[in-house]
């Protein structure tokens, strides 16, 4: 498979994931805010800034992943977000007793271990995308 | 390649820093809500302190009398507001095994009802002639309830053995018949996720089931024979909060109690909450959120100080007085408006 095809598949996969995750949260925004407020890790943050911040970053990532010029930046932002979500869930799952998941839709209904593995997989995909984007394209052979 | 590794390392380091900072700032005991509470308009002024011999596990106020059940001694005590005297009304040792899952009083007949889930019986007691009887419905295993206002029926929570569904039912023990009024979200947990407590207000003829672990309070209007919901401001949805145990299920250590106690009057429901609101010093169990039982909407809150370092555990309302139990001490507050 050509490198560009893999990059396209990766960017679409991440875009679909972020569009779905952000939309699911936005559709139940009040519940999303309430879930953030209940998280022991986020309890002392201002969720009036945190909640729109998370949604904004997710939508921004989707936009960045759509253009060739910003694709690499989009992959890096995806890496950062997915890594944050994975570490957040992992920390809550392994070290805390109260673990509200703020994800909407089917993601929020996943058991925590499955959700962590799912996040980890997409984190690896995002890093792979970023690395593939940076790899110089082989110069076409000249006669 | 080297540049990529550096950027990836920076991302990893940044994410780890954020999580580490969050861990340092975390507060596992705190349950935050997203709504600022309104403390205007109402406050509680302490009037009296009633001391029971041991921790009060259930409380009712009827006709100027406060009844407190002390599980440690298996005795029901009566406090008279007029002469400020407390006396022992019943010793339930002889007929109550296990934990009492509620008691109720019919002020007209002076009859007392003791609900015992261990024996699946409701014991009837009349202090004047000491008549003792019990109600039993073999196929129905209840887990708490209250007597209805207009009939001899009971408003109970029960889990059906065949379907495993947990419901609120109106039960006619004399005929052995029941009507399902509300069915909880089903989890294979024997009804533990839908655990909570009952209370009622005689003047409005309304009964309430308040869940411990979620925001959905069920209101049963007996006069209109209708069910409605009051959603508390923490908005916690019903969820499965049990884990498998050797013999069935047990409450998960991850589950959090949200509503501790409640009381009602003709137009309001007073809910003692474990949740804190942003920017306020609200230790768990010190805030009472007040909801309209007519509109179902949140109206205001009031905060109670800790009593000798202890937080409130039970509430009861009678007229303009609010009784708040702090283990064996019950404080009587007068509700005042600013």
Contacts of B26 (CB under 8 A, 6+ apart): A40, A41, A43, A44, A96
* CB pair distance less than 8 Å for B27 and A127: no
Q: Is B8 in contact with A79 (CB distance < 8 Å)?
A: yes
Q: How far apart are CA B299 and CA B39, in angstroms?
A: 9
Which of A7, A30, A34, A75 should one mutate to test binding to chain B, selecting the residue with the greatest count of B CBs within 10 A? A34
B215 to chain A, closest Cα gap in Å: 12
User: CB A98 to CB B26 under 8 A?
Assistant: no
The residue to which tokens 């969820």 are assigned = B239
Binary contact (B11, A45; C-beta < 8 A): no
Give B269-309 pLDDT, tens digit per residue.
Answer: 999 998 888 778 888 889 999 999 999 999 999 999 899 98
Domain spans in chain B, listed from the N-terminal domain onward: 2-337
Confirm if B157 and B125 have CB atoms less than 8 A apart: no
Calpha distance A9→A19 (Å, rounded): 15
3-state secondary structure labels for all residues of chain A: CCHHHHHHHHHHHHHHHHHHHHHHHHHCHHHHHHHHHHCCCCCCCCHHHHHHHHHHHHHHHHHHCCCHHHHHHHHHHHHHHHHHHHHHHHHHHHHCCCCCCCCCHHHHCCCHHHHHHHHHHHHHHHHHHHHHHHCCCCCCCCC
The residues pairing with B82 across neighbouring beta strands, listed in sequence order, are none
3-class secondary structure per residue, chain B: CHHHHHHHHHHHHHHHHHHHHHHHHCCCCCCECCCCCCCCCEEEEEEEEEECCCCCCEEEEECCEEEEEECCCCEEEEEECCCCEEEEEEECCCCCCCCEEEEEEECCCCEEEEEECCCCEEEEEECCCCEEEEEECCCCCEEEEEECCCCCCEEEEEECCCCCCEEEEEEECCCCEEEEEEECCCCCCCCHHHCEEEEEECCCCEEEEEECCCCEEEEEECCCCEEEEEECCCCCCCCCCEEEECCEEEECCCCCCCEEEEEECCCEEEEEECCECCCCCCCCCCEEEEEECCCCCEEEEEECCCECCECCCEEEEECCEEEEEECCEEEEEEEEEC
Interface check for B10 against chain A (CB to CB < 8 A): the answer is: no
Residues of chain B contacting residue A52, judged by C-beta atoms under 8 Å apart: none
In sequence order, what are the residues at sequence separation of 6 or more whose Cβ sits closer than 8 angstroms to the Cβ of residue B257? B212, B213, B274
A82: its two tokens: 């997915």
Contacts of B22 in chain A (CB under 8 A): 41-42, 45, 88, 91
* Cβ-defined contact of A37 to B3 (cutoff 8 Å): no
Which pTM value belongs to this model? 0.75
Q: Are the C-beta atoms of A112 and A89 separated by less than 8 Å?
A: yes
Angstrom distance (rounded) from CA B155 to CA A57: 50
CA distance B31 to chain A (A): 5
CATH number of B2-337: 2.120.10.30
Which pLDDT value is given to residue A67? Answer: 92
pLDDT at A143: 43
What is the per-residue pLDDT across A74-107, written as a single tens digit (0 to 9) for each? 999 999 999 999 999 888 888 776 566 666 666 7
Task: Tell me how crowded residue A2 is: count the other CB atoms within 10 A of its CB.
Answer: 7
Answer yes or no: are the C-beta atoms of A126 and A78 closer than 8 Å.
yes
Q: Which of B85, B83, B81, B86 is nearest to B61 (CA)?
A: B81
Q: Which of A33, A88, A127 sits opposite B19 (nearest CB)?
A: A88
- Smallest CA-to-CA distance from B147 within B177, B102, B183, B184 is with B102
- Whether B278 contacts chain A with CB within 8 A: yes
Q: Hey, which residues does B334 pair with through a beta bridge?
A: B45, B321
Q: Cα–Cα–Cα angle for B315, B321, B323, nearest 5°?
A: 25
**From residue B164, how far is each of B9, B159, B213, B227, B315 by CA, in Å?**
52, 6, 19, 21, 31
Which B residues, 207 through 246, put their C-beta within 8 Å of a C-beta on chain A? 234-237
Q: What is the ipTM of this complex?
A: 0.77
pLDDT at A142 over 50: no
Length of chain A: 143
Q: Where are the domains of chain A?
A: 3-134
Which chain B residues contact residue A38 at CB under 8 A? 31-33, 234, 236
- On whether any CB of chain A is under 8 Å from the CB of B179, the answer is no
* Closest residue on chain A to B24 (Cα): A41
Q: Residues of chain B whose pLDDT is less than 70?
A: 28-29, 131, 252-254
Q: Which of B233, B330, B319 is nearest to B282 (CA)?
A: B233
Give me chain A's average pLDDT, please: 84
Could you tell me which of B200, B135, B141 has the C-alpha nearest to residue B172? Answer: B135
Is A91–B19 a contact, with Cβ atoms under 8 angstroms apart?
yes
Identify which of A41, A80, A99 has the shortest CB distance to residue B14: A80
- The residue-averaged pLDDT of A20-44 equals 83
């Amino acid at each position: 498979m050509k490198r560009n095809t893999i990059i396209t598949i990766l960017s679409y996969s991440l875009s679909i994931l972020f569009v779905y995750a952000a939309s699911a949260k936005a559709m139940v925004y009040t519940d999303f805010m309430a879930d953030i407020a209940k998280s022991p890790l986020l309890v002392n943050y201002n969720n009036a800034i945190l909640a729109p911040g998370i949604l904004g970053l997710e939508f921004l990532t989707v936009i960045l992943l759509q253009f060739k010029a910003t694709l690499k930046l989009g992959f890096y932002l995806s890496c950062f977000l997915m890594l944050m979500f994975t570490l957040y869930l992992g920390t809550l799952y392994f070290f805390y007793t109260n673990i509200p998941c703020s994800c909407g839709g089917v993601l929020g209904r996943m058991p925590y271990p499955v959700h962590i593995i799912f996040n980890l997989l997409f984190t690896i995909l995002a890093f792979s995308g970023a690395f593939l984007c940076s790899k110089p394209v082989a110069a076409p052979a000249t006669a | 390649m080297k540049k990529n590794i550096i950027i990836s390392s920076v991302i990893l380091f940044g994410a780890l820093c954020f999580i580490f900072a969050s861990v340092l700032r975390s507060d596992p005991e705190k349950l935050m809500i997203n709504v600022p509470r309104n403390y205007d308009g109402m406050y509680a002024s302490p009037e009296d302190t009633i001391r029971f011999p041991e921790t009060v596990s259930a409380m009712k106020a009827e006709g100027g009398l406060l009844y407190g059940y002390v599980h440690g001694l298996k005795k029901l005590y009566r406090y008279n507001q007029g002469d400020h005297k407390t006396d022992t009304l019943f010793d339930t040792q002889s007929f109550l095994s296990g934990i009492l899952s509620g008691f109720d009083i019919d002020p007209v007949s002076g009859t007392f009802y003791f609900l015992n889930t261990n024996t699946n019986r409701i014991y009837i007691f009349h202090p004047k002639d000491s008549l003792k009887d019990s109600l039993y419905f073999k196929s129905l295993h209840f887990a708490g309830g209250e007597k209805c206002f207009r009939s001899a029926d009971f408003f109970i929570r029960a889990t059906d053995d065949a379907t495993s569904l947990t419901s609120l039912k109106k039960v006619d023990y004399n005929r052995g018949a029941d009507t399902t009024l509300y069915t909880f979200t089903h989890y294979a947990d024997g009804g533990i996720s839908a655990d909570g407590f009952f209370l009622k207000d005689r003047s409005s003829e309304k009964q309430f089931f308040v869940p411990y672990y979620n925001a959905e309070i069920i209101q049963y209007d007996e006069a209109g024979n209708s069910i409605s919901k009051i959603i508390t401001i923490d908005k916690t949805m019903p969820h499965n909060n049990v884990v498998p145990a050797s013999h069935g299920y047990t409450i998960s250590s991850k589950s959090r109690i949200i509503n501790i106690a409640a009381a009602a009057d003709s137009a309001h429901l007073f809910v003692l909450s474990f949740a804190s609101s942003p920017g306020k010093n609200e230790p768990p169990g010190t805030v009472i959120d007040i909801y309209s039982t007519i509109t179902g909407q949140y109206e205001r809150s009031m905060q109670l100080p800790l009593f000798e370092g202890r937080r409130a555990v039970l509430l009861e309302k009678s007229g303009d007085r609010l009784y708040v139990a702090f283990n064996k001490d019950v404080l009587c507050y007068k509700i005042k408006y600013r």
